[in-house]
Amino acid sequence: MASEVYKRYSVLTSSTLAFTVCFMVWMMLAVVGIPVKKELGLNETEFSILTALPVLSGSLIRIPLGIWTDKFGGRIVLFSLMLLSVPAIFLMGYSTQYWHFLAIGLMMGLAGGSFSVGTPYVARWFPKEQQGMAMGVFGAGNAGSAVNKFLAPPLIAYGTWHLVPTVYAAIMLGTALLFWFTSYHDPKHLVSSKVSLGEQLRLLKDPGVLRYSQYYSVVFGGYVALALWMTNYYVGEYDLSLQTAALLAACFSLPGGVLRAFGGYLSDKFGAYKVTWGVMWILWVCFFILSYPQTEMVIHTGKGPISLHIGLNVVVFTILMFTAGIAMAVGKASVFKFVANDYPDNIGAVSGAVGLAGGMGGFLLPIMFGALLDFTGVRSTAFMLLYGTVCISLIWMHFSMKDRKHE
């Protein structure tokens, strides 16, 4: 019989791999959507809706999935979710009309709900003092966004975009089977059947849940939105090829995923409040600079006009995005350290609610990015919007958590 420690780390490893593949699929249209956009002649708003719809379904399902995880266990829920997503992923390769992509994208996006299954499933295998690290390691599966940017462009270059869904469906099926045979179930981790669905849902009215949902909508919702938007941003703003744009976009997505474990370690060591507060200030600086649009100025002097260009070149832009990605990775872990500390007996339901808020941010923000771009023609309006969301978080955090600054 496998030891408890072996089971613990086997669950963490297999769940993290499963979540990485689920997130890769969830972000598939961030790359595949670009040739589809050209093929269908979509504008920026239509493109953003196309890429964001999988995020919508994966977000809306998070609360039920979190509750089912509490009731039935993460192993069977995550395995079933992965299997159910395989047909939709495969069918995406046969889409020919815009509504096909939207409908199948909604079904395929259910895989994104895997986060609210894996978080409580993994956390309950570890003692409280290690839960931040464990959830951070699992959350590093966000790096699936970067895996998508590394894998999809070569597949498109080798064949067409239609090849990507076929390959991804095979990867998802294989990963689901691997997860089933390398994970475990512990009945002690289930919530008592005496706890009703209504009692769990009433937790979502808690002011703390609302507060953490807002923070998470910035660090996770903003991350998802930018992961969906950056490849297209690089292509439009800097006139790069799809392969180069995806590679540079991965400079944001990769640290934004893999360093989540580091965020869990920092949260365990220094406390959730200090870490989250620092993250918000770093994002405030990054988004403020990124908000400035490419600008040409003419200054009239006594010796004649002087032309002046103000704007970020691709190198500086990528460095700032890399920095923001690291901050978001740390922030995603620190917010869930709050959840684990404050709601140890209802992690599934609360993480589902907080995850829903983050996912809805990931759904709404890219649509707003596209609408702002169509309306103003200025791409950096995306960062102006994100800057505003960070300001709200800082103000809310300052006034609502004064008594927790010592944590």
Confidence band for 258, pLDDT divided at 50, 70 and 90:
confident
Q: Is residue 126's pLDDT more than 60?
A: yes
CA 96 to chain centre: 27
For residue 200, what pLDDT is reported? 56
Confidence band for 400, pLDDT divided at 50, 70 and 90:
confident
Q: Is residue 346's pLDDT more than 80?
A: no
Q: ∠ at Cα 201 (69, 267), nearest 5°?
A: 65
For residue 128, what pLDDT is reported? 78
DSSP state of 292: P
CATH of the domain at 132: 1.20.1250.20
d(CA 176, CA 158): 26
d(CA 285, CA 369): 20
CA 323 to chain centre: 16
Q: Residue 99, class by beta-carbon neighbours within 10 Å (0-12 exposed, 13-18 middle, 19+ buried)?
A: exposed
DSSP state of 141: G
Total structural domains within the chain: 1
- Within 10 angstroms of residue 129's Cβ, the number of other Cβ atoms is 8
Structural contact between residues 109 and 55, judged by C-beta atoms closer than 8 angstroms: yes
Confidence band for 405, pLDDT divided at 50, 70 and 90:
low
- At 308, phi and psi to the nearest 5? -135, 130
Site of tokens 């140890």: 344
For residue 182, what pLDDT is reported? 92
Average pLDDT, the chain: 86
Structural contact between residues 266 and 330, judged by C-beta atoms closer than 8 angstroms: yes
Q: Give the model confidence (pLDDT) of 39-60 as tens digits.
A: 999 998 999 999 989 988 988 8
DSSP state of 159: S
Q: Give the model confidence (pLDDT) of 60-112 as tens digits.
A: 887 788 778 888 888 999 999 999 999 999 999 998 999 999 999 999 989 98
Q: Give the model confidence (pLDDT) of 9-30 as tens digits.
A: 899 999 999 999 999 999 899 8
d(CA 317, CA 91): 36
Helix (H, G, I), strand (E, B) or coil at 305: strand
Please state the rounded mean pLDDT for residues 270-299. Answer: 89
In degrees to the nearest 10, what's the CA dihedral of 97, 99, 101, 106? -170
> What is the residue range of 189's domain?
4-404
Structural contact between residues 279 and 328, judged by C-beta atoms closer than 8 angstroms: yes
Please state the rounded mean pLDDT for residues 205-211. Answer: 80
Q: Give the model confidence (pLDDT) of 132-161 as tens digits.
A: 778 778 888 888 888 999 999 999 988 789
For residue 402, what pLDDT is reported? 61
d(CA 118, CA 19): 8
H helical segments located in 97-241: 98-108, 115-123, 128-139, 144-158, 163-182, 197-202, 207-219, 221-238
